[in-house]
Structure 1
Amino acid sequence: MKLLHCTLALAVATIIAAPAAKAEVAIDVVGGSEVSFEGLVQADGYWYDNDQLNLDADPGDGDDTDFGLRRAELVLKGKGPGNIEWVLGYDASTSGNKFLDTNIKYKFGGDKNNYLVLGQFKQPNSMEELSSTKNNDFISKALITNLYGTGRRLGASYNYGSDDWQVTASYFGRELTRDLNHGSGYGLRGGWAPLNESGKIFYMGLSYVNRDVDGDTIRLRSRPASDLSQRLIDTNIRNADRLWTTGLESFFVSGPFKLQAEYMTTTVDRYETGFADEPGGDYTTDGYYVSALWNVTGETWSNKAGTPGTAGAENPAGGMWQLGLRYDSVDLNDGVEQPGKMDIVTAGVNYYWRQNFKLMLDYSMISGTRNGVNDDPNVIGARAQFYW
């Protein structure tokens, strides 16, 4: 808790000192490396209209609400010497308390599209997971992003391409922070933007991740449009040997409008035990989302290596307004195993003020089944965010 208080005090002091037109704070040049400091603090609140399951993270407190510090990220970055870049990040929030991107990048010939990364980084699957967290379109990421996105792992990655296309290959092990995600594997991702100009973008891509399942059991579960609530669907897959995920991704930009979609399917390879009560054979689950965003104030998006980049407000003092609508779905049922499925419609409004502040408000209508019982709650989510 003491570290958390120090984090918040440092963040506030940094925001006050930083100029409004700059998102990061330059520190010094150390050993030929231009060192800068970045941070992200997000405070969330959720209000539940429960149906069957009490979604409150603490069902015994008598409230249908959850409040918490979602992220408190502190990041040091360095450029140089030469073609080397490095990053050291940590999330000091109680829900995080883990290392973020912590790696060294070498750009061959100084080319931003031709580089090698060593350390911990996001693996090459899930376009939404690879996008910048501070510019999430909705408070909670899509169901398939949280379920199937591999996230950050220790390993090595090589990227090659241009502004219009890219291919990434990686090999990875466990997460840097102990007792979190583990299981070695590899990933591949490729994408192409046949239309790639200011205010006009069409991108499509494909990803594949294959990894070992340590411990022979993998848990698949998901919260309903909230990063703090109870899980609405939940299952343990026993006798698991390996897991592989295939993803399709695309986004289209026309001026202030953006359409974005992803489909992902995961297969768990299970070994036969010879016992009648032990499951065997592959277990397969899938899901998708489709979202639409409108920048009411007229700003557009960019294409950053196959992820949408959010532009800042054209009028920083007036800010930038966004309206969004998303439909996402996930189905964990497979044959006789019926742990559940969930569909969510989310409407949201976002307000970016200057370069450092963002407010978000979402309303989500959920339709789910849990152990064969229908469960249809509604959730209101709010987020206050500042970053530098």
Structure 2
Amino acid sequence: MRSYFLIGFFLCFITGSLFSQEPNHLKFKVNKGAPQFASENEQFKFGLGGRVYLDAAAYFDDKTDLGSGSEMRDARICFKAEVLKKWNAKINVGFAGGEVSLKDIYLQYNISTNSYVRGGNLLEPFGIEQTESSKTTKFMHVASTVEAFRPGRNLGVSYVNWGKKRYWEIGLFGSDINNTTEGDEGYGLTSRFAYALLNSNAIFHLGASGTYRTADSNGFADDGTENAKSIRYRSRAATHIERRRFIDAEIENAESQFKLGLEMIAAKGPISLQGEYMEASVNRKLLNGNFSAHGWYAQFGFLLKGGDYKYKIKSARLSKPNPKSLEFLIRYNKTDLNNSNIGIMGGKQQDVSLGFTWYVNYNVLMKFNFSNVDLDENALNEKENFNMIQTRLQFSF
């Protein structure tokens, strides 16, 4: 119910601002494939965006019978508005799999040219790939470590500030917009700080993120007592078409969790390096029974064509390569959800991926990924090793 209320509120904001302008005084243009309207005095702007991803995957040497196939990985429509150069609103709705899902939906107030506060359904500021648009992530699927530990989108409010070399965001968040479980929902405080020691001819960026979150309610038993709360970490095997999670740790009797993330970006000319380390600890009601897990990835990029890598301090990450660029990628990931001290063995995954991305133009790109995945004896179907080839045709505006 609250999801429909949120959409309705932001639609009223956008359409109310739109119809406050006289139609014959609106200017129209297309910017990088996206249609935009603006008043003559530039005090009001309204734009449309969207994306479609068509994916295919083939799996080999699999002990588990994996389902090779294809899917429309993502399909979205996005509405954006700017009013008086101080207020921004965004509604981003997905339709992948034939289901409606709410993505970024927020209202933003611009405090200055380098700071703002926003509230709505937001990505929590934790690391690089967690906060990066899927339009610009290097591989078709985020690293397993990121999928396992990322906090995702939640209802909340955040403050963002950046300078020539630094970036900082902090936010207070409630639960998932689709959470309908009875009882008190959890809350979280999340922050990310990054500092770019170099960000011109060469790029060198270090950062850290942290999040503290209480566990969501798990409903009530028939006698009215509250069910034990739980926290879960899990991840797919470097792919989305095969939906099963091969590593999965559910921690029962959980009270709260703390997650730490460390990040690094380095680039010089057409060569880039990026890596993240994440760890999570869960505080439980049981004595001497706290859970901990960790993971990391490192990736290398080389622009075979298209110039040099560039950096955006406003989001503290590498910029999208230029149109007509050709990029070669390598990534190694290791995620360990085993904790033998308390007998929760969620499995360990190691994977190596190779990728090629062709940025056909600003709106179209094509991806080719090869991955080898190695799982330990605590994974879904015990120890196994398999390979996959994946491709994507992506259109966005």
Query: What TM-score do the two structures reach when normalised by structure 1?
Result: 0.84
The aligned counterpart of 1:184 is 187
Q: Does 1:285 align with 2:293?
A: yes
Which residue of 344, 348, 373 corresponds with 1:366? Answer: 373
**Structure 2 CA distance for partners of 1:41 and 1:346, relative to 1, 3 Å:** same
The aligned counterpart of 1:205 is 207
CA distance in 1, matches of 2:355, 2:158: 35
- Please give the per-residue CA displacement for 1:326-352, whole angstroms capped at 9, x wherever unaligned: 000100111233221000000010111
Which residue of 303, 306, 319 corresponds with 2:316? Answer: 306
Q: Does 1:387 align with 2:389?
A: no
User: Mean alpha-carbon deviation: is it higher for 158-167 or for 283-292?
Assistant: 158-167
Could you tell me which runs of 5 or more consecutive residues in structure 1 were left unpaired when the two chains were aligned. Answer: 1-17, 57-64, 274-279, 314-318
Which residue of 319, 324, 327 corresponds with 1:322? Answer: 327
Q: CA deviation at 1:272?
A: 1.9
**Structure 2 CA distance for partners of 1:379 and 1:310, relative to 1, 3 Å:** same
**Structure 2 CA distance for partners of 1:131 and 1:163, relative to 1, 3 Å:** farther
Q: CA deviation at 1:115?
A: 1.1
Could you tell me which runs of 5 or more consecutive residues in structure 2 were left unpaired when the two chains were aligned. Answer: 1-28, 219-228
CA distance in 1, matches of 2:99, 2:290: 32
Q: Does 1:343 align with 2:343?
A: no
User: Mean alpha-carbon deviation: is it higher for 247-256 or for 124-133?
Assistant: 124-133
Which residue of 384, 387, 396 corresponds with 1:375? Answer: 384
Aligned partners of 2:189 and 2:211 also within 8 Å: yes
Aligned partners of 1:232 and 1:370 also within 8 Å: no
**Structure 2 CA distance for partners of 1:50 and 1:271, relative to 1, 3 Å:** farther
Q: Percent identity?
A: 25
Alignment of 1:8-27 (within 5 A): 22-27=32-37
After superposition, the CA RMSD in angstroms is 2.2
**Structure 2 CA distance for partners of 1:348 and 1:132, relative to 1, 3 Å:** same
Q: CA deviation at 1:218?
A: 2.3
Alignment of 1:222-301 (within 5 A): 222-229=235-242, 230-272=244-286, 281-299=289-307, 300-301=309-310
Give the match's secondary structure for 1:154.
strand
Aligned partners of 2:127 and 2:192 also within 8 Å: no
Q: CA deviation at 1:194?
A: 0.9
**Structure 2 CA distance for partners of 1:142 and 1:195, relative to 1, 3 Å:** same
Aligned partners of 1:288 and 1:330 also within 8 Å: yes
The aligned counterpart of 1:138 is 139
- Please give the per-residue CA displacement for 1:209-261, whole angstroms capped at 9, x wherever unaligned: 11121121222221111012122112321111111110000101111111000
Aligned partners of 1:128 and 1:307 also within 8 Å: no
Aligned partners of 1:50 and 1:377 also within 8 Å: yes
Aligned partners of 1:26 and 1:37 also within 8 Å: yes
Amino acid at match of 2:230: T
Give the match's secondary structure for 2:96.
coil
Q: CA deviation at 1:370?
A: 4.0
CA distance in 2, matches of 1:102, 1:26: 19
- Please give the per-residue CA displacement for 1:141-163, whole angstroms capped at 9, x wherever unaligned: 10111111112111111122313
- Please give the per-residue CA displacement for 1:98-155, whole angstroms capped at 9, x wherever unaligned: 111111111213x1x2111111111110211212211111111101111111121111
Aligned partners of 2:251 and 2:344 also within 8 Å: no
CA distance in 2, matches of 1:118, 1:338: 37
The aligned counterpart of 1:7 is none
Which residue of 201, 215, 231 corresponds with 1:218? Answer: 231
Matched length: 348
